Amino acid sequence: MPKPEPRPRICDYEGSNYRTEFWEGRGRDYEDRVERIAVRRLLRGGGRRLLEVGAGFGRLSDEFAAFDQVVLLDYSFSQMQYAQEYHGRSSHFVYVAADAYHLPFKAGVFDAATMIRVIHHMANVQKVLDQVGRVLITDGVFILEHANKRHLKAMARYALGKQSWNPHSHEPVEFVELNFDFHPQYISEALQGAGFRVERRVPVSFFRVNALKRSVNTQVLASMDGLLQTTGALVSPSIFLRARRVELGPTQLTTASIFACPQCGGDLLQQGDEMVCTADLNRYAIRDGIYDFKSPIGD
């Protein structure tokens, strides 16, 4: 019997107040605005159901109002609690704590998916992209953001001998534990391997420099960035892209049946405040309106 594949390292924001420690009041209004510009540029129209992988506290979830339902997923249960406080409880939002390497959904249940400021924490890019591809319908849209290895500052530092890693080589660089920069071609090839076709790439955050952000009006910087996004010059710190799932997926399911066991892929039935796998009988908690698939009850 083959040994199970080792579990990839996971970056866990459990207990972190990411919203106030990183975003609100931390001088990142510029980043928030330019990322919203990119999302609106790439994700046009709506659909039945969208999945946010690594949604955190739901900073961008209001951008997806054109979808009937938005499923926010994060490995951190506490981030889902913050997101629930931020957006409230309604049929429009579903909050799920789970491992992105083992998405607890059946195949082909989402019309669209996003992964923004997330994949730079992923030690196994191909595995997580395979999972996203699995849960999307045929022709489903995927909006992905990744940290760009080949940005202007990195290229200048390398040329001057102030940086050891080569920004032009295709392999990822882990500059801090579980923080990766990626070459655009590496990401494109990984997406292709997961059954996606890249349709468009948009460079973002050209002016991510503290001195500029302090001295220039945020709206002016964001407007300038929005113009540069149209150039396609992939030399910015962040790159957003739109990809489309090209392989055939099964018919969409009802809301009640979108989940699958993250351990074995079996069907799940809701029994009170638990989701129970009909195959291996593992049980997962629904705690205060949040589906918790991080580990079975009792582990």
Where are the domains positioned within the chain?
A: 18-252
Of residues 71, 4, 18, 60, the one with CA closest to residue 37: 60
User: Per residue in 2-40, pLDDT tens?
Assistant: 456 677 899 999 999 899 999 999 999 999 999 999 999
Judge whether 168 and 177 are in contact, CB under 8 Å: no
Report whether pLDDT(247) > 70: no
* Closest CA relative to residue 97, chosen from 137, 39, 57: 57
Burial of 194 (0-12, 13-18, 19+ CB in 10 A): buried
The model's pTM: 0.87
Question: Can you tell me the distance from the alpha carbon of 164 to that of 250, in angstroms, rounded to the nearest whole number?
Answer: 47
Instruction: Give the pLDDT score at 142.
Output: 98
The pLDDT score that the predictor gives to residue 1 is 42
Tell me how far apart the 2 most distant CA atoms of the chain are, in Å. Answer: 62
Q: What is the mean pLDDT of the chain?
A: 93
Residue 269: predicted pLDDT: 84
Q: What are phi and psi of 51, to 5 degrees?
A: -110, 125
pLDDT at residue 296, as a whole number:
95
Residues with Cβ within 8 Å of residue 194, at least 6 apart in sequence: 126, 129, 130, 132, 133
- pLDDT tens for each residue of 197-231: 999 999 999 999 999 999 999 999 999 999 999 99
CATH 3.40.50.150 describes domain 18-252: yes
How many CB atoms are closer than 10 A to CB 27? Answer: 11
Query: How many Cβ atoms are within 10 Å of 285's Cβ, its own excluded?
Result: 18
What confidence tier does 267 reach under pLDDT thresholds 50, 70, 90?
A: confident
- 243 by Cβ neighbours in 10 Å (0-12 / 13-18 / 19+) ranks as buried
| Residue 112 phi, psi dihedral angles, 5° rounding | -155, 160
The two counts, helices (H) then strands (E), for the chain are 8, 13
Please compute the mean of the pLDDT values over residues 274-290 and round it to a whole number.
Answer: 91
Amino acid 34: pLDDT:
98
168-172, 231-235, 244-248 — which is least confidently predicted? 244-248
Give the DSSP H or E segment for 292: strand 290-292
Q: What is the pLDDT of residue 148?
A: 98
Are 5 and 67 contacting, i.e. CB atoms less than 8 angstroms apart?
A: no
Q: Are 298 and 291 in contact (CB under 8 A)?
A: no
| SS3 call for 104 | coil
